[in-house]
Structures are given as C-alpha cells and as structure tokens.
Amino acid sequence: GKAIKSGRPQTDETVLQAQTLKLRLQDCRLCPHHATEIASILRTCSHLSEIDLSGNSLGDEGCRQLVKMLSEMSISGPLNLSNNQLSLESIIYLLHSMRTCPNIEKLEASLHQKTAVLTLANRVVTDVSCSRSYSLNDDHLSTGEGQMLATPRKICLTDNSFHDKDLKRLCSALRNCGSITELDLSNNSLGDSGILKVAKLLPVMKALHSLILNQNHISRNGVFCLVRSFSALEQMTSLHLDLEDTQSVRLSFGDRFRHKLNDEWQGELLVCPQPLIHARRFSLRGCKLVLEDVARLFEILNTSSGLSEINFSGNALNDQSIEQLLKFLPRLQSLKLLSIRNNTFSQHGVHLLANSFNLCERICEVEVRSSENAFLHFVDSKESREIHCRLIDCGVGPDDIKELCIILEKSGCLVELDLSRNCLGSDGLRCLLEHLPRIHTSCLMKVSHNGISEDGVLCLINALATHPNITEVHVSMCSEEILTITLVRENNPRKTLRLKQCSFQAEQLAQLAAMLRECLPLADFMSVNNGLTPSEAEALFKAPKKPTGILRMGIEELWVKNESLVDLLKLAAEVQGNITEVTIRRDTSLFVVEQEFPRPVKKVESVVSRMHQCELEAKGVSSLKKLIEKCHQLCALNWSEVQFTDTEAATIFGALLHFPALKRLEMTCCRISAFGIEHLAEALSQCHAIEDIKISKINLGIESLSALVNALEGKLHLKSINLAFLNLENGSALKLISRLSTLPLLRRLILNNNSLSSEVCPHLAETLKNVIHMEEINLSYNEIEDAGVKEIATAVPEMKNLKQINLSHNSISSVGGQCLVEALASSERLEELRLSENDLRRETVAKLAAILPSMHHLKVLHLSSCNIDSEGISHLAQALSECSQIQELSLSENYIGNRGVKALADGLVRSSQLKNIELKMCGITDAASKPLVSGLSCCALLEEIVLSWNALGDESTLELAEILPGMERLRILDLDHNEITDCGIRRLAEELTQCRRIQSVRLWHNKISKEMERNLSKEEPRLHFST
C-alpha cells in the first residue's frame, strides 16, 4: 500500500480524507485461506480509499470472509474482487453485504464478465429531513438505518444469464435489500418468467427509484406482467418498454410521501407524512398489438391512478385497434397526452382520430403528421377546452372535406384547423369554404401547400368579402407557402387581406379589384411582390370605398425603389378617403397609404387657401393639388431609404409639411442634400402640432444639423426626439441641448450612436434637470465615459418621471457605474435599466443589488458583457429574490460560471413575473444544470430562455426536458452552440409533444448527428438545426 496525503484544506467535510491508503494486491495468487487474514489486517487500517484484490483465486469462500468483515472496515472507495473464480454464491454474499453494511453505495457484478466491485463511502451518519420511510430490510424504518437513505444505493447485476433456480435465490436475496435505490438487471436472459419473479419484488423494494431490465428476451406476456405492476404500484412513475431489436425496459419510481417541514426548524419532520400523487407515464415501443391486446392493455391501464401520459411507437395499430383504443379514453380521467408514433394510419384512421373530440370531451388537441405520428392532448375539464385539429400531410383530399367538416362541426369549439400539406386543391378549398357557415366560433384555418391555384385564391378572397365571420385571409404563394383563414364570432369585423407572390393575370386582377370594392369592412390590404405594374396598383388603390373607418393599403414591388417620389404621391392621391399617413421604405420597396372615411362633402378651402394655384405652380407642385386636397388630415409621414433630389425636396416639403394635423415625421437612411435639409427645416418650423420627430442614419453636415436643430425651437407639443446615428459634433450637440429647454412636453430623447463625448454631458445634465416630463433617455453607443456619466447622474434625481435609461456601450468603468447607481436610488418609477457593454464589474453590481429591492417598478434589467463574475452575480441574485416584478433579465457574455449560475438560480425562485432571460456565453456546464433548471422552473411566465454558446450537454438537456411540460408560456428555447448529443435531443423532442405553446427550439452547432437531425426535423418541425 501507499500512503497518499490529500491536498485539500482541513475542513469538516475533508477531515476524514486527510490521509488515505490504497491497497492493490492484483494477481498475487491469493487463496480462500488468505481472506480471513487479509480481512483482519484491513480492520486495523483507517482511511482506505481503494482495495484491489482482482486476479486472484479467493473463490466464494474468500469472498464470504471478506464481506463478512466489511462493516468493521474503514473504506471510502472501491473494493475490487474481479477475476477471483466467483459464482452465484458470491453474488448472494455481496447482496447480503448491502443489507449488513450501510456504507456500501454500489455493487457491480457480472459472472460472464468476471467482475465484482463494491463501492463504499466512509461517511458520518447524519439525520435526514426528507426521505422515504423504509428500512433496509423491511417496511419499518429503524432509527440508525433509515438515516442513510439520503444517499443513492445501486446494484448492477448485468450479463449473468441466471437460470430459473438461480433467479429464485437471487430474488430472495434482493428481497432483503430494501434500501436499494437503483437496480440494473440487464442482459440476464430473464424471459417472461424471470420478469414475473422480479415484478413480485417491487412492492417490498420501497426505496427503489430506478429498475433497468434491458435485453432480457421479453415477449407480450412479460409486457402485460409489468403493466399490471405499473397499475398496482402507485409509486411507479414511469414504465418504458421498447421491444425492438435492442430491448430497453426502464421502470422509475417516486417517493410515496412528502414530509412537511416545521417553519421554525427545517430539519424537523411532522409526524404525519403527506401522500404524494405522481404524474405517471407509460411507453410501449416495437410491440405489435392485435385488437385483443389493445383491449387487454387498456383494461389494465384503466385501473392505473394518476396516469398522465401514454406513448405508443411502432405498434402496428390498425383501424380497429385505433377505434378500440379511443373508446377507453373517456375512462382515463387523469390522462394529459396520448402519442402514437411510427404507425401508418389509413384515411379512415385519420378520421377516427379527428372524431376523438366527440368521443372524449376532455380532448382539446389532435395532431396527425404524415399519417404516421398522432398526438392527442387533454384538458382537466370540458368547460375549459378549445379544440385544435391538425391533420398535416395526411393525404386529405376533396372527398374527405365534407365528412371532416361534419365531424368538426359537432365539437362546437374549434379554434384551429390545420390541413397543411394535403391534397385539397382548389376544389377541396371550395368545399371547405362552403362548410364555413356551419362553424360558429373564432378559428384559425391553415390550408398551405395544398396545390391551390390563383383561382382558388380568388375564391378565398371572395369568401373574405362575403362571409360575415371571416376577419383575415393571408396568402403567400412563395416556396414557404402560407394560406390561412381567420374567423371570429362577431359579424362583419374589421377585415385584413394579405397577398404575396400570387401570379394573377389581368382578368384575375380585375376580379380582385371588384372584390375589394365589395368588401366594405376591409381595414388592411397588403400586396407583396404580386407583379403589379404602377397602373394595376393604381386600379387597386382606387377600388375600395367604405362608409366609415380607417383603411390601410400597401404594396411591395421592385419598381417602388426607383419610382419618383412625385409619382408615388400621385398614386397615393388615387385613394378614395382622406389620407392620414404615407409610408415609403425604399429598402423594402414598401409603399403604404392610410386613409380615413368618410370624406368631407365640403372642399378643403382652409388648406388650399394657403397655397393658391399660382403659388403651387411657382413651387412646382401643381401636379399634387389633388393630393393636397386629400391630406388635410395627414398626421404621419414615414420614409426610409428615400433619395430626395433637390427638386423633389423643394416640392414635397413645400407642399406636404404645411398641414396642421401632422404629428409624426420619420426619416431613416434617407439621402438628402443640404439644399433639401434647408427646405425640410423650413417646413418643420411651420409644423406647430408635431409631437414625434425621428431623423436618423442620415449623413448631415454641420450647417444642415444646425438648421434642423433650430427648427425644433418652441415646439410646444413635441414629446419625442430621435436623432440616432447622426454625427453630432460638440457644437451641434450643444445647440440641440440648448433647444431642449424650450420643449415643455418632451418625454423621450434618443441620441444613441451620435459620437457624443463627456464634454457635452455637463450641459446636457443641466438641461435635463429642467425637463420635468422626461420619461426615456437613450445615450447608448457613445463615448461619455466616467466623466460624462457622473454629470448625467447629477440630473437623474431631478427627473422624477424617468422610466427608461439606456447607457449601454459608453466606456463606463466601475467608478462611473457606482456613481450612476447611487443616483438611481431615487428613481422610484424606473421601469427599464440598460447598462450592457460597460466595464461595471462586481463593485457596481453590488451597489445596484442594494437598491434593486426599492425599485418596485423595474421590469427590464440588461447587464450583458459587463465583466461581472460569480461573486457579482451572487449579490445580484440576492436582490432578485426581492424583485418579483422583473420581466426581462439579460446577463449574457459575463463569465459567471457554474458557481454564479447556482447563485442566480436561488434568486430566480421568486421571480414570478420573469418572461425573458438571456444567459448566452456565460460559461455554464452540466455541473450547474440541476440548480439552473430548478430556478427556471419557478418562473411560470417565462416566454424565452437563451442559453446559447455555453457548454451544456445531455445532462442539462434531460433536466430541461423534465420541466418543459410545466412551462406553459414558453415560446422560444435557444440552445445554439452547446454540446448536446443525440441522446439529449431525443429526450427533449419526446417532451416537446406536451409543450403546445413552444414555437421554436434552436439547436444550431451542437453534437447531434445529421441522421438524428433529419429524423427529428420531420417528426418535430419546431426543432431548428443547422441543416
């Protein structure tokens, strides 16, 4: 043996490991008579960390002598007796030692592999506040023995090929191992008779959490034996049976009792433990079931209390079996999910599944994919159910529609019908539209990828115009085809029509214009890349006329990028109502006109009188007279990527910006000369009602900036200024700051990416102190540094209405950060705080943590890339436990590691309102998966979780899979760039069937095989891989 000193500090946990001994006597020709002497010597050795006696000839007697003395030895580690000519007798001795020596944590033995290893823990017995009430060998808990149950104890007896007589002895020995938590009997050729013997053990092995019986030649009789045990034992939480080539059989168990803790002392148990009710799961794969088997199986399952999930896969269920199965569903009162995978359904079988709504009033969702995979979801009571029917890629054709509609009409509460990727064609669509009047509910219908032609699309548009309950039709004929119909309960609602890449002929466009004219409730029409010419677009813009209300009409066509502004505005003048908003976005070729009805009968003399015909001609805008007459109520202009010539600038700004109702002007990424800016500034000076100005991402000179800033002076109604991405020199910035004091209602100031330095901050701070209505300040992506943020901090206490502040990416260090945080202590109304990409470090976070509990309205906190370590996160986590109102938390790109994540998880326990959390690139591994997932599971309102660019593997994925079904609001889970393999993603995909609200799981750049990606993409389209 060799003495090895431990390098760890002398703490309570490591004092027993201060000095450890390893004894290795391999291949030393030791015989049975040596065993007693070896055992006597080992009794005198303290702190043994390993004993290796493999490769000797101890035999069964030597094994018996050694294990008899185990309870008197001080061993913390493995005792290896492999290759010692051991037989079943030795296995029995080893099993007996599990009962007599509570320090044994694991037994591994295989007669075929000639292995036998005991793993022990030389631990101090401590009290256990929450464990099962089981003894080591009986139903009663003895005082000393029961205290060891907190630590898992495992037995792994694989690859032994036990005979019938041997199995009886083995089961007898196992019966006395009542404290075992995990048992693996894989690859022992147990057969159905052996499975029956093992099943009889289960009622007495009350500490068992896991039983594995893989590769044991089980047939149908063995399956039914295990199903009966599953039904009888309420503590068995799951039974997984896979009888395909490599048989997999797993049984999982939960605690029978929940011990409530005394409030005064968390270690004290109440006298009466509370029974636990488990959500239980049954899975059967690769076992072909005939009709009689289905009836027999469900008769047994019907007696299983708490059964919440049934999974079938590859069971070759025919129509008769499906029909029989569905008849049992009303009797399974606790069932939440029934899945049938890898099972070919006939067309009649698909109809049977769709009709299940009418057989069981708790079924709320039926989804059948590719006529192979079916998922039925259940609600607790029929009063709360809303029916979703998805029959995707199931070969549904025109002949099936009538029967399907009759089935769905009976349900009465259909809210979604998805018939995507079927064979409806235009005839099937017409048949579906004919039956729409019989569905009296709010409902979304999807008929994408059904071979529907443009004539079919016109039928759809006609239904929008004529059917009183259709509120929206969305058609996109591109490669990712979309055809949706939305119905609502009320008659004649506001209607929306969106058309994309429809190859309409001239005659069809004429029909479209006629339908738009007939659709009086139309509120929103959008045409995207439908190949319209300017004249065809004009015809469509002229068509609609409604008695009252707002109508928004837009087009996206390539020619919009190159069409002159004057011609586009002439097109706008063709609408029938009063123009209230004009949007031109050259970057997306978008042109939108919003109009209001009814048009006033009298002429708009108040407008035209200010600009006589001679004036119009002098300004070159006589051609826009028609437009001017329709723009007296114009309140918004939104232009993006527009290039103004000098003539256009003079014409348009001279005409349009004189209207008294204009309240919002937005110009982004526009190209305009100094001459044009001069006309814009002149026009702005006349817009006294303006409330919102956004002029961003425009290359302006100093004189142009000065002219614009001068035009802002005295705007009594101006509430919002956005000058983002303008290169404000100090002179222009100072002039702008001086004008802010003349804007009494200013609430919002956006000056991000303006090259602002610390030099302007003293002046800005003095001005902000007097802008009493200020609610939002965005100075992100500048260079104000510590000197600037200290000045801004002096103004913060004076801004009593401040709700949002963004100082991200400003080269602020911990010094400036602490100064700002001190000032924020008085900002009681603050709702959003964004300080990302600054070098704030733990000191700033510690000060922030101190004031967070007093910021009762704070909902958004962004501290990404702030050089925060695990200690800083610990401070923050403590504060978060008192900030339940926070809805959005971003801590990405801070290397907080597993220690920081564990601390954060504690803070999340009370984050009841949290909706978004970002932990991208935070150095998280599987070691932190349990606390992280536990913390996330406490956030019931979470909608988005970002965990990308970490080192999360299958362990984390399995933990996430466990909680996903309970996260009813979750929409997006981002796991990009991690270390997830096929095993983890398969489990996640299985649980995703229960998560109806999740829209996307991102899995780019993990360690998942291409074959698995292909298979799962077909099975679960919400999983997004890199292919």
Model confidence pLDDT, tens digit, residues 285-303:
999 999 999 999 999 999 9
Q: Answer whether residue 484 shows pLDDT above 80.
A: yes
Are the CB atoms for 287 and 192 separated by under 8 Å? no
Higher pLDDT, 588 or 384: 588
Q: Would you put residue 921 in left (φ > 0), alpha (ψ -120 to 50) or beta?
A: left
pLDDT band at 623 (very low <50, low <70, confident <90, very high): low
Residue keyed to tokens 């199965």: 325
Cα–Cα–Cα angle for 686, 691, 693, nearest 5°? Answer: 80
pTM score: 0.82
- Name residue 552's beta-bridge partners: 524, 594
Model confidence pLDDT, tens digit, residues 111-160:
999 999 999 987 544 433 333 333 334 443 333 344 444 578 999 999 99
> Which pLDDT value is given to residue 1021?
87
Q: Answer whether residue 330 shows pLDDT above 70.
A: yes
Model confidence pLDDT, tens digit, residues 933-961:
999 999 999 999 999 999 999 999 999 99
> Which pLDDT value is given to residue 9?
42
Nearest alpha carbon to residue 502 among 474, 464, 535: 474
Summarize the confidence of residues 532-557 as an average pLDDT: 94
Summarize the confidence of residues 465-479 as an average pLDDT: 93
- Name residue 184's beta-bridge partners: 156, 212
Helix (H) or strand (E) holding 528: strand 522-528
Higher pLDDT, 273 or 103: 103
d(CA 538, CA 557): 13
Q: Answer whether residue 2 shows pLDDT above 60.
A: no
Asked, as a colleague might, if the bond just before 598 is cis with ω within 30 of 0, I would say yes
Model confidence pLDDT, tens digit, residues 704-743:
888 999 998 888 999 999 999 998 877 888 989 999 988 9
pLDDT band at 19 (very low <50, low <70, confident <90, very high): low
Summarize the confidence of residues 463-473 as an average pLDDT: 93
Supply the DSSP string of 247-312, one letter for each residue: -EEEEEE--SEEPPBPSS-TTPBPSSPEEP---EEEEEES----HHHHHHHHHHHTT-TTEEEEEE
Distances (CA, A) of 824 to 505, 790, 791, 848, 858: 63, 12, 13, 9, 11
Summarize the confidence of residues 967-984 as an average pLDDT: 95
Q: Work out the angle between the directed axes of helices 347-354 and 398-411 (0-180°, nearest 10).
A: 20
Distances (CA, A) of 176 to 99, 141, 251, 791: 7, 14, 20, 75
- Token pair, residue 789, equals 């943020």
* Strands 482-487 and 443-446, sheet pairing: antiparallel
Coil, helix or strand at residue 325: helix
d(CA 136, CA 174): 11
Residue type, 917: I
Summarize the confidence of residues 521-544 as an average pLDDT: 95
> Which pLDDT value is given to residue 657?
60
Distances (CA, A) of 170 to 92, 188, 190, 997: 7, 12, 12, 48
Summarize the confidence of residues 303-323 as an average pLDDT: 93
Average model confidence (pLDDT) for the chain? 87
Where does residue 518 rank: exposed (0-12), middle (13-18), buried (19+ CB within 10 A)? middle
> Which pLDDT value is given to residue 141?
38
Residue keyed to tokens 């050694």: 66
d(CA 520, CA 503): 25
Q: How remote is the C-alpha of 832 from its chain's centroid?
A: 22
d(CA 376, CA 512): 40
Where does residue 791 rank: exposed (0-12), middle (13-18), buried (19+ CB within 10 A)? buried
Model confidence pLDDT, tens digit, residues 487-517:
988 887 899 999 999 999 999 999 999 999 9
> Which pLDDT value is given to residue 130?
36
Summarize the confidence of residues 671-693 as an average pLDDT: 90
The phi and psi torsions of 173 (rounded to 5 degrees) equal -70, -40
> Which pLDDT value is given to residue 602?
44
Nearest alpha carbon to residue 175 among 202, 154, 155: 202
d(CA 548, CA 597): 5
Q: How remote is the C-alpha of 81 from its chain's centroid?
A: 49
